[in-house]
Structure 1
């Protein structure tokens, strides 16, 4: 019969870049304490990269040595593992949409979970708790618009909705109008201007 480290080694070999390993997902291998110990040993040896307490990913082997996986792949992996959306912050969305020239100093993502910091070598990535309306339309432009306008705030929302009108297709505007019921009143009112030419 295989030991827990041997089984864990085989499991790691099957993972794609960014797939997250947590002890509670490995309980079929044995006792929780033994799994925690094996994960900790693998992290000390460099066979796993510790993102945060209880969260590990296999490092990527390159000709220059080992490195953590790409941030966006880990975020996708966490989102799949938890079955919850994890989306870029409003500041990143506003920058991507051209509403601000400010570039976030460190990556920040929004999720329905608790606040935590993920460690990627020298880079720290923040996961911040957000209300459900800010997690609407993950991976779509309509969702980025919601997060960007929320980040900009009530006073800038009306002016920026007009700037966004040219960037949005009719389908994206309809999607935003359909999501107004989930949003705070100031944002729903600002987005109502998109209905003018539909």
Structure 2
């Protein structure tokens, strides 16, 4: 049985170890110590190992990309994809790398920093998901309250014919902008009172009045009294303690003249 030399012993030019008596012990793993065949074998081994590692790495990335796309396809339209929710599929570094590659391929859209969405396939081609769907998915995912801006609320209630040109939402989260294809979606941080009654007509009334301001609030209240059912108006009245003084005073007219 060959004695394994100490790691501290110097290597000879041919890859063997030199013992205390300067006798060369050949390294059989990479070939003979005579000539340069040992050095060539070592180089070939390293090249083959590097090539094999590259092949297996590429296959792993392709598999991860397929898994991420399958995961995204199983989500409702517009649901944001973030790396932290994909760590059951691979490491953070691998997931980040594959997400970037999928964006370059056009398989995913980058809505913002670290936020991705799956394009929608239809018979007319590929399009970005609906902004409304993406907002719903973002609210559920982040636990934020996200509601339409006052301008959109006023238009929906018939208080103005002005149609908002941009998609703007109020949120309990930070202000930011996300991109859906060619469309920019803006989120503005808002005080809690502007976020009450999400998804309800009463909430739209509050946000519309906030956008119209004190000068136009009285006329808006008169129009709303004729348009909305009493139950919705009573819900607005019930929130007076949470509203600014000027708005609470205007809303109180609903009680006086009801």
**Shorter-chain TM band:** over 0.9
Cα distance per residue 1:127-186 (max 9 Å; x no partner): 111111111111110000000000011221122112211112111111111111211111
Instruction: Report the RMSD for the aligned CA atoms in angstroms.
Output: 1.7
Q: 1:187 aligns to what?
A: 247
Structure 1 residue 140 and structure 2 residue 206: aligned?
no
Structure 1, gaps ≥5 residues long: none
Q: 2:140 aligns to what?
A: 80
Structure 2, gaps ≥5 residues long: 1-59
Structure 1 residue 114 and structure 2 residue 145: aligned?
no
* Equivalent in 3, 7, 18 of residue 78 of structure 2: 18
* Equivalent in 204, 213, 234 of residue 153 of structure 1: 213
Structure 1 residue 166 and structure 2 residue 230: aligned?
no
Q: 1:126 aligns to what?
A: 186
Offset of residue 197 of structure 1: 4.4
Structure 1 residue 30 and structure 2 residue 90: aligned?
yes
Distance 1:27 1:195 in 2: 54
Question: Greater relative contact order: 1 or 2 (C-alpha under 8 angstroms, separation 6 or more)?
Answer: 1
CA contact (8 A) 2:145 2:173 kept: no
* Equivalent in 129, 133, 150 of residue 90 of structure 1: 150
Question: Which has more radius of gyration?
Answer: 2
Distance 1:169 1:146 in 2: 15
Name the count of aligned residue pairs.
198
CA contact (8 A) 2:151 2:211 kept: yes
TM-score, normalised to structure 2, is 0.72
CA contact (8 A) 2:112 2:178 kept: yes
Cα distance per residue 1:94-123 (max 9 Å; x no partner): 111111121111111111111211212221
Cα distance per residue 1:22-41 (max 9 Å; x no partner): 11222333332222222111
Distance 2:220 2:180 in 1: 34
Question: After TM superposition, what 4+ stretches of structure 1 lie above 4 angstroms from structure 2?
Answer: none
Q: 2:24 aligns to what?
A: none
CA contact (8 A) 2:109 2:117 kept: yes
